[in-house]
Structure 1
Amino acid sequence: MTAARAEGLPSESRAGSTSTVMSSFTSSAVLRLLSAQLAAEIAELRMRLAGLVAKHEHVQSKLDSIIYPVLQLPPEITAEIFMRCSPDRERDAQIMYKAEMLFPLRLASVCRDWRAVALSTPRIWGSMNICLNSSTHLDFQRRLALCGDAPLSLELCYNFRCRLDIPHIFPLAIAIDHCRNWETVKIDLMGRDVPLLNQVKGSLPLLHELHVSVYGVSAGVGDAFGDAPRLRNLTLTILDTGAYTISATHFPWEQLTTFNGDGLSVEGCFNVLRLASQLSSCTFSGWFGIDDGLPSVSLHLPNLRSLRLMNHERFGWFLGSLTLPHLEDLHISILPRQVSPFCDFICRSACSLRTLGLRTSSSLSPEILLQLWEAVPTVTHIDVSPSIFCDQMTRLLWEKSNLLPRLESAIVNGRRLPNYAMDHQLLVNMLRSRQHSLRSFSLFASESSNISARNVSQLISISKTGMDIQMDVTVPFQALVSR
């Protein structure tokens, strides 16, 4: 092949076979020709690259000149927005743990300006959920350094899937070193942890909500939380029921307005009500002990508006020692033999009860249930379980229009009971008779899945008059209504 023939090759063919040509032809003329061709291609690519670089610089300069409105805000306003957008502890309870920990990290990752604002805003770093083990203290220390003197919302909890013999003193001790900044605290204490609380010295000026769970052998947590002038909300969970006594812990009982207790003894429950005379809301669950453990003393509590006695029927008997003139919300487990003492309690208290929740492990006869309903004429909302209540309740409400005259909403909960078939037509009749006063009715029980198409049609007709009806049926009831 001559140089002329090589010159006549297509450009792509020349480019793709350069190495072959160079290995086949060694004359200086051919090499000079190929070198010139490659130089031309390189020059062309350089010109194209220069053009692209120029276009990129032009676009980037315009992009850099854009000032986003949010970045024009003063840092103080941005910091205030950060704090107001922090996860709400009550509203977002289900996502609180991860959301509170990740929130400031996500803000700091948006841009350089937001990172500077986030790092200089201690308040957004103060919500932490820390697992008590030996590997968490370094992260805990770093985060506390960012908090400065900001109020702290801490959850110091065990991961019980891990071994409990792993040393964990570091994060707990670090938290106690910052106790003056505690605002809301949830803390798990093993028996061996309790001595650490002796390091809590002086006042806890910011603490207004406290959750303490005690595991293992412990007689109490002493004076650690005795000087907390703002403490109003206390939750106490005891898992070693044989060792804990209320008298061994010096909480500021007289200023508490909300108390939740789980695992307390009979005497402990009674002592809480005796010591915390300003309570407006109280819940007891996980009761243990015997009925005769109560002192023969009656308590008159004028401030208590909400009382929940959960998980055990003996709490119904507990009411015999109480007079609660301003009680509005009561949830209680009750047996047939306790209805009469319950009615005596309502009469003695002369309270205007608005919400009544009832749980029972046995059926209440129509006579006993009528006695119970007649004792609470001011109730506007009832929540009953199990669903065996439903037929008895609906028949009374249908036949006696003057029963529970202020009733606006009702909820029936409970799993299916053996040999029990709900009378859905009776339910329809009751709702029709009360459709001008009853605003909502909810039935959450497996019995509702057996409802007939005719009854569903009747309920849909009632719902179109304005009553909110919710039921567990094969097709969601609300979807049927919307059709």
Structure 2
Amino acid sequence: MEMPEKHPNFAGQENEQPRFEDLNPKNLPLAPIYKLPPEILLEIFTTSCDRNMLTRERFCPSLALSAVCRTWRGFMLSAPDLWSSIELIYCSSERPQNMDSYDFRRIIFRRIYLFMSRSKTTPLDLSIYIAGCSVPGVRSIWRLLAESSERWQNLRLAAPREVLLMDDLLEEVAGRLASLKYLALSEEEDDIFTPLSSAPIQFFKTCPSLDTIVLENLNPDNLVLPYHQIKSLTLQDSTVGENLWSLFPTLEEIVIRDSWYPFHPAQEHTSLSEVRKLEIISWKTDPGDNFFTPFRALTLPQLSSLHISYLNVMELDDDSRKSFDEKALTSFLTRSRCSITELVLTSAPISDVQAIRVLGLMPTLRSLHIEEYPGRPNGVPNNMIITSTFLKAISVTIETAPLAPSLSELTLVLHPSALGFNCQELVEALSSRCLRISTAVHGLSSADIGFIGPEEVNPRVIQQLSGARAEGKFGSGFHMRIRRIR
């Protein structure tokens, strides 16, 4: 009997269908992310793994990525840099309620050992917060971390003073911090430990590579540091002594955040010949007169970058904003005879007229960033600095001497409603600097215009700015960005 011919659509189908067990995983179709070059994948993973919280598994990206698949696990294990950033919060509040302190400490031990071994010889970035834990637990955790202390490159340490004064902890790292470049220290109050001691902290006495210090709630007088090699100093919520600046003769950058130190008008000004950047920041609603103490106490002849920022200004009223000590700032600039090339004013309580006078003392200014404060108590937004008066002052005309003639980069962050339906004054100010009406000006190369506040930006404002750019009012080679900031 003749066998019927198979349907042509199924001819040879049995032979063409491979068995499942014969499939090679390497020949299966890949998702797009698996086709990325290793160099790009490394960049993505590096961004994701910049913070590994060892006490919270869901915030430990290096562990999560290594558990996705065999390919990623192999990639993670071959890149020790992805295991070099560690954050450890060792306090009772981090321990799960159903876990005793011994098991909690054992989990931390395991993860520390895992990260230390997988990071191999890579420099380490450590953030350690200690509070509310027993002394034996702190000692055991510290000893395990100290085994890799020769690889510590960046260290952020927040702990009670009595922890920082434990001699046996000091011995674990003494003379082994040759790679340490960045150090952030914060003194935490803790009822478990004994009252604060006034003894100096000597953990970091010998650190040949250390050049950046951040101190929070700490007086530098209570530390033994290699002061002569420190280039950058940040003080936050710290009260310091009169001889503070004499401790750091080679400073190049100073950042002061809500810190206080005494200064009397009869005192001589401290001159620091290497400082090139000064940043003064306040998070307080009313920072008070102390905010301007650095301007009264210091002389900085090499200063080129000045930042003044009020970062908590939602409750500032008009009376509070009148507290800006223009005299202290202008006296400082005159006394220092410095050439400022960068000025940043973020929510600073300064008026348009005051800002104009300050800019008049900065003929070498190349970059200007002014950001209006985000709101007012009554909810009515207003521009205190970037007003019609200010825009006219920075406009270049043939008849008047230009303000900040070297200005090439301008950033203005303002309330759009204060412009109304017309931003012609802003367009004219930008155009006059771009087209170089006067040969005395350098010419503006870029402008960044940001609009803040809850209100919507009127479309006509955007149209005027975009239209002026399209019409060539800003010349060729000029770059302008318009953005919305909520």
Q: Name the structure 2 match of 1:412.
A: 412
Counterpart of 1:186, as a letter, is R
Match of 2:462 among 448, 453, 456: 456
Q: Is the 8 A contact 1:129 1:154 kept in 2?
A: yes
The answer to whether residue 359 in structure 2 is matched with residue 388 in structure 1 is no
Q: Which moved more, 1:134-143 or 1:244-253?
A: 134-143
* Partner residue of 2:65 out of 79, 88, 106: 106
Shift >6 Å, 4+ stretches: 51-55, 64-68, 80-84, 334-337
**Once structures 1 and 2 are overlaid, which stretch shifts more, 148-157 or 383-392?**
148-157
Compared CA separation, residues 53 and 260, structure 1 to 2 (3 A): farther
Name stretches of at least 5 consecutive residues in structure 1 with no aligned partner: 1-50, 69-77, 239-243, 475-483
Deviations 1:292-315 (A, max 9, x none): 4x9924333232111101114634
DSSP-derived class of the 2:24 partner: helix
What is the CA distance between 1:405 and its match in structure 2? 1.4
Q: Kindly state the Cα deviation for residue 204 of structure 1 after the two structures are TM-superposed.
A: 0.9
Of 234, 246, 258, which residue of structure 1 is paired with 2:232?
258
TM-score if structure 1 supplies the norm length? 0.68
1:472 aligns with 2:446: no
Of 108, 127, 139, 2:111 maps to: 139
Question: Secondary structure, in 3 states, of the residue corresponding to 2:325?
Answer: helix
Answer yes or no: is 1:164 the counterpart of 2:123: no
Cα displacement (A) at 1:383: 2.0
Q: 1:352 — aligned with what?
A: 339
Asked if 2 retains the 8 angstrom alpha-carbon contact of 1:307 and 1:329, the reply is yes
Q: 1:245 aligns with which of 219, 230, 255?
A: 219
| Equivalent of residue 152 in structure 2, options 182, 185, 190 | 182
1:48-197 equivalences in 2 (<5 Å): 56=18, 63=24, 85=43, 92=47, 96-97=51-52, 101-103=60-62, 106-107=65-66, 110-111=69-70, 124-133=82-91, 134=101, 135=104, 136-157=108-129, 164-165=132-133, 168-169=137-138, 170-196=140-166, 197=169
* 1:131-188 deviation per Cα after TM superposition (whole angstroms, max 9, x unaligned): 2145223322333344455432212135xxxx83577514334223432221211121
Rg larger in structure: 1
Contact 1:191–1:215 under 8 Å retained in 2: yes
CA distance in 1, matches of 2:25, 2:49: 41
Greater CA drift, 245-254 or 432-441: 432-441
The answer for the alignment partner of 1:301 in structure 2 is: 272
Contact 1:209 1:234 in 2 (8 A): yes
Residues 52/263 of structure 1: CA separation in 2 closer, same or farther (3 Å cut): farther
Amino acid at match of 2:307: H
For the Cα contact (< 8 Å) 1:100–1:127, is it kept in 2?
A: no
Q: 2:254 aligns with which of 282, 292, 301?
A: 282
Alpha-carbon deviation of 1:191? 3.3
| SS of equivalent to 1:310 | strand
The 2-side partners of 1:93 and 1:295 are apart by 53
Q: State the alpha-carbon separation in 2 of the partners of residues 348 and 185 from structure 1.
A: 37
Aligned residue for 2:327, secondary structure, equals: helix
CA-CA distance at 1:223 after TM superposition: 1.2
CA contact (8 A) 1:194 1:218 kept: no
When the two chains are superposed, the root-mean-square deviation of aligned CA atoms in Å is 4.2
Shift in alpha-carbon separation, 1:297–1:52, aligned structure 2, 3 A:
farther
In structure 2, distance between residues paired with 1:290 and 1:471: 42
Among 449, 466, 477, the alignment partner of 1:442 is 449
Give the equivalent residue in structure 2 for 1:25: none
Other-structure match for 2:177 = 204
1:248 deviation in Å? 1.4
Shift of 1:318: 1.7
Deviation for aligned residue 1:452: 4.6
Query: How many residues are aligned here?
Result: 393
Match of 2:351 in 1: 364
TM-score when scaled to structure 2? 0.67
In the alignment, which of 193, 201, 214 is matched to residue 187 of structure 2? 214
Alpha-carbon separation, structure 2, partners of 1:341 and 1:110: 61
The answer to whether the Cα contact below 8 Å between 1:316 and 1:332 also exists between their aligned partners in 2 is no
Contact kept in structure 1, 2:308 and 2:344, CA below 8 Å? yes
**Percent same amino acid at aligned positions?**
17
